Amino acid sequence: MEKSNIVSVIGGGSFGTALAILLAKNHNKVQIWLRDEESVEAINTTHQNPKYAQGINLPENIVATTDLVSVIKGVSLIFITIPSKSFRGVCREIGNYIEADQILVSTTKGFEQGSFKSMSEIISEETCCLKTGAISGPNLASEIMEGKPCGTVIASQFEEVIKKVQLALGGKSMRVYSNFDIYGVELAGSLKNIYAICAGIIDTLGFGENTKGLMIARALSEMSRLAFHFNANPSTFLGVSGVGDLIATCSSDKSRNYRVGKELSKGRTLEDIVQTLGQVAEGVGMIKVIKEKADELNVEMPIVNAMYKIVYEHEPIDKVLEELMTLTQKSDVEYRFAK
């Protein structure tokens, strides 16, 4: 039986929970899939997700389950909120049950290490789904849960996907913009997490707003240079999913990646920081993924290189930042149109 009035969310972390709340408040019946049976029990009996949304009351039209098949079969719109390192494995499981006319939308901000595949590309490889999309933007989960006004972008090559997601998510607290440049939107969402780590370092060391403003501007130039090689639209990086997300993530303690940068600047080890966070900070892995691809394509990305030296080569932060400031001074605006 088709469950056309139900929307499913695969993944019950902080953003998956925030997304489920938003969907439920927009009068959708929501199924959310989690592996953790205790969290499922808590959501269904107390209407709270104590692990990822402590103190937040969930709408009663959210139902949690550990049964992956039940949230797939007959559901026309499905959001996937799985960390990038687990994304392919879950999509492979989904692929056993998905039908070609269902809609799968990724919310994950990352690219696969080794293959440099986007999450929407992985969906297409692992399932028969023909209509895919990705959402990205300045979407700090805690603020969505609190109902604060925000916006996001749904990127897809299919008008049907865009319209269904806008209808499901758009409302008093969320504006949903459209973009056909799905690769550019996914690339912007992945890259900004790297610069958020850098912003955390800058703020904690007290370098000031001038320094962070410079970093954000040069980050946009780096993002545009890499986008050019993938025929993504550089204008995407000047929109909500680009500069909008970059500003939010580089300015808030609510961003896990920003907090990673703050703690690194205090001398803590990456392993200790990640363990304390208890959640995935996608920017940590993306530093390595993006540096390898930029080196392969001979794309100049000085900030990414600097973050790689700090995070993976353990070079002193002050030495790396001094090297950044003494690089050859170049032209300000470098935006180019895709090939």
**Which residue numbers are catalytic?**
192
Domain final residue, candidates 180, 210, 244: 180
Residues 123 and 201 in one domain: no
Residue span of the structural domain in which 250 resides: 187-325
Q: Which pLDDT score, from 0 to 100, does residue 327 have? A: 81
Instruction: Label residues 161-172 b or e (16+ Cβ within 10 Å = b).
Output: bbebbbebbbee
Cα dihedral across residues 218, 110, 249, 20: positive or negative? positive
Task: Looking at the structure, tell me whether residues 215 and 87 fall in a common domain.
Answer: no
> Does residue 191 share a domain with residue 148?
no
Predicted confidence at residue 1, as pLDDT, reads: 38
Letter for the amino acid at 231?
N
In whole angstroms, give the CA distance from residue 178 to residue 165: 10
Among 134, 159, 180, which residue terminates a domain?
A: 180
Residue 330 lies in a domain: no
**Is 171 in the same domain as 192?**
no
Q: What are the pLDDT digits (tens) for 235-276?
A: 899 999 999 999 999 999 999 999 999 999 998 888 888 878
- 111-147: b or e for each residue (b if 16 or more CB lie within 10 Å)? bbeeeebbbbbbbeebbebebbbbbbbbbbbebbbee
Same-domain status, 175 and 191: no
Residue 34 covered by a domain: yes
Burial class of residue 60 in the structure, from the number of CB atoms within 10 Å of its CB (0-12 exposed, 13-18 middle, 19+ buried): exposed
Q: Please tell me whether residues 232 and 145 are part of one structural domain.
A: no
55 and 169 in a common domain: yes
Number of compact structural domains in the chain: 2
CATH number for the domain spanning 27: value is: 3.40.50.720
| pLDDT less than 70: residues of the chain | 1-4, 280, 333-339
Is 336 a domain residue?
A: no
- For residue 300, the domain's CATH number is 1.10.1040.10
> Is residue 243 in a domain?
yes
Contact present, 132 and 104 (Cβ < 8 Å): yes
Of all residues in the chain, the percent with pLDDT exceeding 90 is 82
Q: Domain check: are 127 and 245 in the same one?
A: no
* One domain, residues 159 and 194: no
How many residues are listed for the chain in this entry?
339
User: Is residue 243 located within the same domain as residue 290?
Assistant: yes
Q: What is the pLDDT of residues 159-168, one digit of tens each?
A: 999 999 999 9
Q: Which of 153, 180, 207 is the last residue of a domain?
A: 180
Whether 214 and 175 map to the same domain: the answer is no
pLDDT at 56: 94
